[in-house]
């Protein structure tokens, strides 16, 4: 669980069963276990109306856990980017009453939520549960480039190379935390780099 923070920082809950016939799950890595925990409480035919989009972590684990739930549709993606066209089409074709469940890393939840917002789904109606890595998706405020899977504080922008303070300030529209140059006033000051978002 992420520590208590400032107000723009998203708050995640625990996935809970929602009434309805159509359920869309999007998860990465340990997020699969949040879906499995939900499934343990679900009625027998629940996943008969479910579409699961899953992006395994580097260890490739947990796909079998989700497949065993026998969802109506199951998709195994290599990355969020490769899953995105399918996700967008699913959201565009969805009927009223589609229930959306997001589980896993903040980067996955944020990007999937962004796609859902663009499709007109209100963010407060989406079930989210954070599991696994605390790695952050960060936008450099200077060059606007996004760096994925940031685990250190400070972190180097993968585009412009500035050393950035990873703030808690978060934009749902960008699905990213804000990174601001940490040594702008004196570039010779190099603070220690610590692995804090594991």
Partner 1 sequence: MGITFRKETFRDDFTFRNSPEHIRRFPFPFHEDSYMYAVNIEPHVVGPKGSVLENLIDVDEHYVAEMQDRALVLAEDPLRCQSLPHMTLAGWDLLELLMEQQALGYPEHFTLTRDGDRWRWINRPLGIDDSFTFGDVSTLPYGPMEYITRQSQGDFCILDQRDGNLWMDAGMVTTQADWSLDFDIGMNFFEWHAPVPLAHEKGIFVRALKFLTNIQQGKPARRLNWTMTINPRLDTSPENYHKWGPDRATVTPENVGDKAHLRVELQSFWRLPRSNAIVFPIRCYLIKMDELVTQPKWARRLHRVIRDLPEELANYKGLTRYRPTLVEWLSRLDDGSPTSAGFGPD
Residues binding partner 1: number (CB under 8 A): 23
Q: Which is nearer to partner 1, 76 or 165 (CB)?
A: 165
Is 142 a binder of partner 1 (CB under 8 A)? yes
Position 187 contacts partner 1 (CB under 8 A):
yes
Query: How many whole angstroms separate alpha carbon 132 and alpha carbon 146?
Result: 21
Beta carbon nearer to partner 1, 7 or 96: 7
Phi, psi (5° rounding) for residue 36? -60, -40
- Alpha-carbon distance of 74 to 54, in angstroms, equals 8
**Rg, Å, the chain Cα set:** 18
Interface of this chain with partner 1, residues 111 to 130, rule: CB under 8 A: none
Residue 67's SS3 state is helix
> What is the Cα–Cα distance from 33 to 44, expressed in whole angstroms?
18
Q: For residues 6 and 96, which CB has a smaller minimum distance to partner 1 in the complex?
A: 6
CB 126, min distance to partner 1, A: 16
Sheet holding 163-171, edge to edge: 146-150, 136-140, 176-181, 163-171, 155-156
Please report the DSSP string for 56-72 in residue order. --TT--SHHHHHTT--S
Nearer to partner 1, 9 or 86 (CB): 9
Q: Does 8 bind partner 1 (CB under 8 A)?
A: yes
Site for partner 1 in 151-180 (CB under 8 A): 162, 167-169, 171-174, 178, 180
Q: ∠55-174-197 over CA atoms, to 5°?
A: 60
**Any contact of residue 6 with partner 1 (CB under 8 A)?**
yes
When the beta carbons of 70 and 144 are compared against partner 1, the nearer one is: 144
Output the CA angle 66-67-73, nearest 5 degrees: 100
Q: Which stretch binds partner 1 (CB under 8 A): 21-29, 45-53, 79-87, 183-191?
A: 183-191
Binding residues (CB under 8 A) for partner 1: these are 6-9, 139, 141-142, 144, 162, 167-169, 171-174, 178, 180-181, 184-187
């Amino acid at each position: 669980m992420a520590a208590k923070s400032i107000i723009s920082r998203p708050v995640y809950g625990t996935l809970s069963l929602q009434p309805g016939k159509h359920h869309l799950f999007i998860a990465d890595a340990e997020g699969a276990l949040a879906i499995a925990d939900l499934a343990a409480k679900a009625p027998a035919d629940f996943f008969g109306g479910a579409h699961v989009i899953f992006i395994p972590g580097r260890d490739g684990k947990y796909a079998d856990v989700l497949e065993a739930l026998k969802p109506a549709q199951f998709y195994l993606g290599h990355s969020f980017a490769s899953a995105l066209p399918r996700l967008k089409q699913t959201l565009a074709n969805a009927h009223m009453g589609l229930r959306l469940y997001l589980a896993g890393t903040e980067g996955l939840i944020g990007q999937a939520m962004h796609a859902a917002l663009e499709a007109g789904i209100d963010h407060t109606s989406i079930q989210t549960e954070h599991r696994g890595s605390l790695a952050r998706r960060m936008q450099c405020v200077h060059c606007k480039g996004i760096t994925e899977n940031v685990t250190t504080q400070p972190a180097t922008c993968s585009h412009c190379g500035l050393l950035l303070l990873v703030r808690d300030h978060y934009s749902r529209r960008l699905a990213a935390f804000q990174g601001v140059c940490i040594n702008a006033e004196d570039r010779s000051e190099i603070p220690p780099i610590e692995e804090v978002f594991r």
